[in-house]
């Protein structure tokens, strides 16, 4: 479990949130949506314990599996070496990874389906491959909380789908609290149980995904009209898109 209780945070005159109580328990997945500059990453940092609060408190494990928005290239390190770095917090300042740490790293690679990347240099991987390695590194921490900052933002559509499928599979396992940020309401609909909306005026509202992802709330959030569409063809799923795109859902 990871969360905040009666938390407030401002930067100068910019109020990010006030009196916010938010909890992500084990077995649940929560998505945070909001426009650029609204403070999604700062909210994540507060929940990770990286960002001091003006008021309130943070609660959660001391070690959290964290996937940053822009991971360093980790030049000349293999995929397995990068994943093993997820054990660093458990080793102490001068500790060296042992057999159990390497086993945990390999297990994380198996979990994300990236064993074939164990010996490949991280700086030679594609964007999608690097993302799998960074998620494996977060899993290797052994934490029951997984936090991802815009995990699909730099990926093509195929890799976005693979990343979302992985997050969904981790959520179905039910042994972690999962929190991620995104700009796409459809990503939240695909994998999140609850959704947090950081509204432009300073309010933060949250609730079940089906109640939060609506045309009216998305239009208020992003400042453009939104509507439901249903793509043509078998197996299509209803989607939320700007009103200038697509056909209205029946």
Q: Domain spans of the chain?
A: 2-208, 214-250
**What pLDDT does residue 247 have?**
58
Using alpha carbons, select from 14, 32, 26 the residue that is nearest to residue 64.
26
What class has domain 2-208?
alpha beta
User: Tokens 């999608």 identify what position?
Assistant: 128
Distance CA 17, CA 27 (A): 25
pLDDT tens column, 145-186: 999 999 998 899 999 999 999 999 999 999 999 999 999 999
Contact call for residues 214 and 205 (beta carbons, < 8 A): no
Distance CA 53, CA 163 (A): 31
Q: What is the dihedral of CA 242, 244, 246, 249, to 10 degrees?
A: 70
Distance CA 233, CA 10 (A): 47
Eight-class DSSP state of 82? H
pLDDT tens column, 202-238: 899 999 999 999 999 999 999 999 999 877 776 667 8
Residue 29 CA: distances (Å) to CA of 120, 122, 144, 150, 211: 31, 28, 12, 14, 15
pLDDT tens column, 72-121: 676 789 999 999 999 987 766 556 777 899 999 999 999 999 999 999 99
Q: If you average pLDDT over every residue of the chain, what do you get?
A: 90
Using alpha carbons, select from 66, 48, 55 the residue that is nearest to residue 17.
55
Burial of 202 (C-beta count, 10 Å sphere; 0-12/13-18/19+): middle
**What pLDDT does residue 92 have?**
64
**What pLDDT does residue 193 have?**
97
Residue 71 has, within 13 A of its CA and on its CB side, a CA count of 32
Spell out the residues 6+ positions from residue 130 whose beta carbon is closer than 8 angstroms to its own. Answer: 71, 73, 122
Using alpha carbons, select from 172, 135, 149 the residue that is nearest to residue 29.
172
**What pLDDT does residue 246 have?**
56
């Amino acid at each position: 479990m990871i969360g905040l209780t009666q938390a407030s945070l401002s930067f100068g005159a910019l109020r990010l949130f006030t009196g916010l109580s938010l909890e992500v328990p084990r077995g649940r997945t929560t998505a945070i949506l909001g426009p650029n500059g609204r403070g999604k990453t700062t909210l994540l940092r507060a929940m990770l314990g990286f960002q001091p609060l003006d008021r309130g408190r943070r609660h959660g494990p001391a070690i959290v599996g964290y996937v940053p928005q822009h991971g360093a290239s980790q030049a000349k390190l293999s995929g397995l070496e990068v994943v093993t770095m997820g054990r660093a917090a458990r080793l102490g300042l001068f500790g060296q990874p042992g057999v159990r740490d390497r086993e945990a790293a390999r297990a994380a690679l198996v979990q994300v389906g990236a064993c074939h990347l164990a010996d490949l240099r991280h700086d030679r991987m594609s964007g999608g491959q690097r993302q799998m390695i960074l998620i494996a590194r977060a899993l290797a921490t052994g934490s029951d909380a997984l936090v991802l900052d815009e995990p699909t933002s730099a990926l093509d559509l195929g890799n976005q789908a693979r990343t979302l499928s992985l997050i969904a599979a981790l959520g179905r396992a039910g042994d972690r609290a999962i929190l991620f940020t995104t700009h796409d309401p459809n990503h939240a609909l695909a994998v999140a149980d609850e959704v947090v909306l950081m509204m432009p005026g300073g309010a933060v509202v949250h609730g079940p995904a089906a109640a939060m992802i609506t045309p009216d709330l998305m239009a208020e959030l992003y400042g453009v009209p939104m509507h439901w569409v249903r793509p043509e063809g078998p197996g299509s799923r209803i989607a939320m898109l700007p009103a200038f795109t697509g056909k209205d859902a029946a």
